[in-house]
Chains A and B, each alone.
Chain A
Amino acid sequence: MSFKDYDKKTFIADAARDFAARRITKREFMKKMGIAGVGLSAFSAGMLGSTRPFKGNLGLIGTEAMAQDATMTAWLKDVGSKFKGAKIRYTSEATPPTVVLDKIKKEFTDPTGIEVEVEIVPLEQVLAKATQDVQGQLGTYDLYYLDQSWVATFAQDTIDPMQYYKDKPDLAMPGFDWEDFSKPLVDGLAMYDGKMVGIPFDIPIMMLMYRKDILEKHGIAVPTTSEEFTAAIKAITEAEKANGMYGTGLQAKSGHYSLECDWTQMVWNAGGSIFGADKKFKGNDEAGIAGLQLYQEWLKYAPPESLNSTWDGQFQMMASGQCALVESWDEFFPGLDAADSKVQGLWMPAKPITGKPLRPISEVGFGEVPNRAHQGGSVLGLSKYSKNVDAAWIFMQWACSKDVMTRCTLIGGFAPMRLSSFTDPRVNEKAKVGPGTTRHLELVKWIIDNDMASEPDMPLWAGFSNNEIPVNLGKLLTGQDFGGDAKKCMDTIAAAIDAAVADAGL
C-alpha cells in the first residue's frame, strides 16, 4: 500500500473517530469526508450520530478577547516579511494546540507573508512521516511534532531552540522568556543528553477524576491510594452495574499506545519501572507483575468495551455515564463540562492515587522517571534539514510565545506549558463549570510540579511502546495468549525488548 493510500484510509478513519469523540463538528466531518472523496458522507454522518461540538471553545476565535497583541503583529511584520513567500510545513497529531494553531495561523501568515501548512494526521503517521524525513534528510517538514516517547529518537535531527535563539539575535522574539516554561516540562519533555530537542508544546497528564454524585450516593470517600481506588470501583460496579455503570473505564485497546500508557502507570505505582539501571527490561520483576495484576483486577470493574477503547473510548465512557472513577488524561475535562454534556459539572479532578513507594531514579535506566502521573506531552522541534529554517523558527517562536500559548489554552482547554498562562486572569476566569473550563488546571500544575512521570528516553522506545508492549498486553488481557498469567506475558516482552536493545548496541 502506498503512503498516500494509507494516509487517505487513516484520514477517513481518524476524521470519523474525531467526530465520534466530539473533537470536530458534523460540518467539519463532512467537509473532511468530501476532501477524502466520500460521496455518501451524509449517509455516513447519519450512521455516526448527531452533531457534537469540539471539546474546546473554538467560538472564541475572532473575539476581541482573543485578538493578537499589536506589538506581536508588528514584530512578525518586521522580522517575518523578509521571508515572504516561503512555505513551512509541519505535521502533527490532532492535539489541541495544533488544532487551535491551525485555526489562528492567519495571525501569523498575514503579517509575515509566510505560508504555513499544517498536516494533521494520526500519531503513528506523524512518527512515520518524521522518520522518513530524517532518514533521507529530506527537509519536507520544517517543524516536527515530537511525542515525548520519540524525543530521544529525533534528538540528532533538530536544532537546539535555546541555542538558536542566542545564535540569531536578529530573529529572536523580544520577551520570549525561556524561564517561563515549567521546569519539570523542559526537563521531562524537551531535554535529551544535555540538548534541548524542542520547545514543550502540550502536556496531557494523568490525574484522578471522579463522579462526585456517585461517590456521595454510595458514601465513598475520594480514593487516595491504589487499595482505596480498587475497593471503590469494586463497590460501585456491584451497586451500579445493573444501571449500566461500572467503577472505572480503561483505555486498554490491544496494540495501542493508550494501553501502554495505562500499564506504565500501574507499574510505577506498584514500585516498579520499565527499565533497570542495567538497561534491562524490568516489567517482569515482582513490582511489575504486581502492577499488571492489579490492572487485570481493575478490568473486572470496567465496561468490557474498555478492551477496545483508546483515550477516545475512555472519554466516551466518562461522558456517557458508564463509569465513576478514572485515572486518565486531564484534557478530558473541557469535554466533560461542554455545553451539551450530560455530565456537566459532575466530574471532579483530584490528585493521582498513590501506591507503593516509587523506585528511585538511580535504579532505573534510559532517563525514565517513575512517578504517580504519566505524562503524554510533546515538543515542537525545528528540523535540522529544513530548507526554510529561519521562517520556521519565527513561526515556532510565535506558536510557543506567551500570548499564543495562553490563547491556545483558552480556546483548546488544555494545560499550558508556560507558568504565566496558569496565572493569566483570562484563564483563571474560566475556572468554573462550563464550556472551555480551566477548573482542573490548578491541580494539573501541582501534578506537573510534583507527580509527573516520564517514559524512557531511548531511540527504540517509539517502537516498543506502540508495538511489542501493547500487543502482548492485549494478548494477555483479551485471553488470546498467556492464559491470564501476567508473568508469562511480561517475560515474553522482556525477551523481545532485551534482544532488540542488545542488537541495537545500546
Chain B
Amino acid sequence: MSANIASYPDPGTERRPWLPRWLASESPIPWLLPAAALMIVFGIYPLIYAITLSLYKKNAATRKMVFDPTHNWVKILGDDRVWNAIYNTFFYTGVALVFQLTLGMLIALLLDSDRKGYGVLRAMMTLPLVIPPAVTGMMFLLMLNGSFGVLSRGIIALGLLPTGFSILGTADTAMAGVLTAEIWQWTPFMVLIMLAGLRSLPKEPFEAAAIDGATAVQAFFKLTLPMMSKVIAIAVLIRGIDLFRAFDYVKVMTDSGPGTATETLTSYAGRIYFGNADFPYASTVALLTLIIVIVVSSTFMKLFRVKL
C-alpha cells in the first residue's frame, strides 16, 4: 500500500504532460491574467479615460475639445449645484442608512426565531430585493401621486397633508418621498445580513447573561451589539457605497427635482452628460464622486477596523 502511494507523483511538482510549461508552473501570473485583463478593460481603462476626459474643455458650439487640465476642476469648485448635490448625497446616504440599519436590526430581531412560519417570513424578505429599482421607483411615483396615489391619499386622510398635496412636487418633501422607496426596497437587505449575523452568534454568553438575570434589552446592548459590530460595519460600508451612487429612484421619481431638491452627484453627472452633452465636465463630477467614496469608505474602515 505504501509503495503504491509513493508511486503517485507529487501534485505540486510534477508537470502534467498535456499542459504547457508556463501553465503548469507554480507562478500565479497565468491564473491572474484573465481577472487582470477584465479589471483593465472594465475598471482601469474607463477610469483612465474619465481622468483624461476631465482634463479637457469642450466647446458646446463647435464640439472641439481643448486640453485645459484645470478648467473642469476649477469649475466644479464654483458650481453651486455640485455643493448642493454633495449635501443631498450625504443626506440621502445618511438618512437611508440610519433607517435601513435600525429597521433592519429590529426586523431581524423579530425574525430570529425557529418557530413555525418564520422561515417563510424570512424568505419573503427577499421579494423587494428582486424588483428592479426603476420599477420600484415607478411604483412609488404612482403611490405618491397627489391626485390618486394610495400613500398620498392615506397621509391626506390622516390630516397630515392638505388635499392634493404633491409630495414629490414639493421641494421640502420630495427627498422624503424618494427615501421612502429606497428604504422600502433595501431594508430587507439589512434584515438578511443582520439575521445571518444574529444566527451565527454563540448561545453561551446569552445563556450566562440570562442566568445572571440580564434583561433582554441589557443582553442586546451588552452582548448582541458588540458581537455584531463587525457585521454591522460591513453592512453599513456596502450599503453606504451603494447609497452614495443613488440614481435610479431619483431619476424615475423626481428627475433630481423639484429644482435641485433631490439632485445627487450621480444624477447631476447624468444630467450634464445626457442633457448638456458636456462629457468632460460630467466625467469630472463622476470622478469627484469616486474620490469622495474612496475617502469616506477608507476613513470608515480605519475607524471601525473593517478588513475586507
Contact = CB atoms under 8 A, between A and B. Distances in A.
- A and B co-occur in one complex: yes
Contacts of B278: 463
Given A16-B135, A44-B135, A47-B142, A478 B247 contact: no
B40 interface: no
Contact of A308 (B169, B247, B276): B169
A20 B171 contact: no
B19 to A, nearest CB: 37
Interface stretch (A72-80, A180-188, A398-406, A498-506): A498-506
B139 A303 contact: no
B44 to A, nearest CB: 15
B297 interface: no
Contacts of B273: 128
Interface stretch (B24-32, B106-114, B253-261): B253-261
Interface in A441-494: 458-460, 462-463, 466-467, 471-472, 474-481
B266 interface: yes
Contacts of B132: 9, 12, 36-38
Nearest to A40: B131
A53 B61 CA distance: 42
Contact of A460 (B60, B164, B247): B60
Contacts of A505: 59, 61-62
B155 interface: no
B171 A478 contact: yes
A478 B135 contact: no
Contact of A253 (B171, B255, B274): B255
B247 A480 contact: no
A355 interface: no
Given A474-B258, A506-B61, A9 B247 contact: yes
A115 interface: no
B277 interface: yes
A44 B62 CA distance: 44
A412 interface: no
A500 B258 contact: no
A360 B272 CA distance: 33
B169 A307 contact: yes
Chain B contact surface mostly: loop
Given A127-B274, A463-B60, A48 B138 contact: yes
Contact of A13 (B251, B272, B274, B276): B251
Give the size category of B's interface with A: 35 or more
A242 to B, nearest CB: 9
B270 interface: yes
Interface in B236-273: 245, 247-248, 251-252, 254-261, 266, 270-273
A306 B272 CA distance: 25
B166 A125 contact: no
Nearest to A310: B255
A372 interface: no
Contacts of A238: none
Contacts of B147: 244, 303, 305, 317, 320, 322
B170 interface: yes
Contacts of B274: 6, 124-125, 127-128
A254 B278 CA distance: 21
A167 to B, nearest CB: 26
B58 to A, nearest CB: 9
A256 interface: yes
Chain A contact surface mostly: helix
B257 A9 contact: no
B184 interface: no
A300 to B, nearest CB: 12
B280 to A, nearest CB: 11
Contact of B275 (A39, A304, A463): A463
Contacts of B245: 1
B270 A307 contact: no
Contacts of A481: 259
B21 interface: no
Given A9-B247, A43-B131, A307-B166, A478 B261 contact: yes
Nearest to A504: B61
Given A16-B135, A38-B132, A459-B60, A466 B257 contact: no
Contacts of B217: none
Contacts of A309: 169
B206 interface: no
A17 interface: yes
Contact of B259 (A16, A127, A244, A478): A478
Given A10-B251, A308-B168, A17 B63 contact: no
Contacts of A304: 146, 164-166, 169-170
A317 to B, nearest CB: 8
A296 interface: no
A49 B142 CA distance: 10
B168 A474 contact: no
Contacts of B288: none
Contacts of A459: 60-61
Interface in A16-44: 16-17, 20, 33, 36-40, 43-44
A255 interface: yes
Nearest to B150: A47
Given A43-B131, A459-B60, A481-B259, 11 more contacts: A13-B137, A244-B147, A255-B256, A255-B258, A317-B147, A320-B147, A460-B61, A462-B275, A463-B277, A480-B258, A503-B59
16 contacts: A1-B270, A9-B247, A9-B248, A9-B251, A33-B135, A38-B132, A253-B169, A255-B258, A303-B146, A303-B164, A304-B165, A305-B164, A309-B169, A471-B257, A478-B171, A480-B259
Interface of B: 59-63, 127, 130-135, 137-139, 142, 145-148, 164-166, 168-172, 174, 245, 247-248, 251-252, 254-261, 266, 270-279
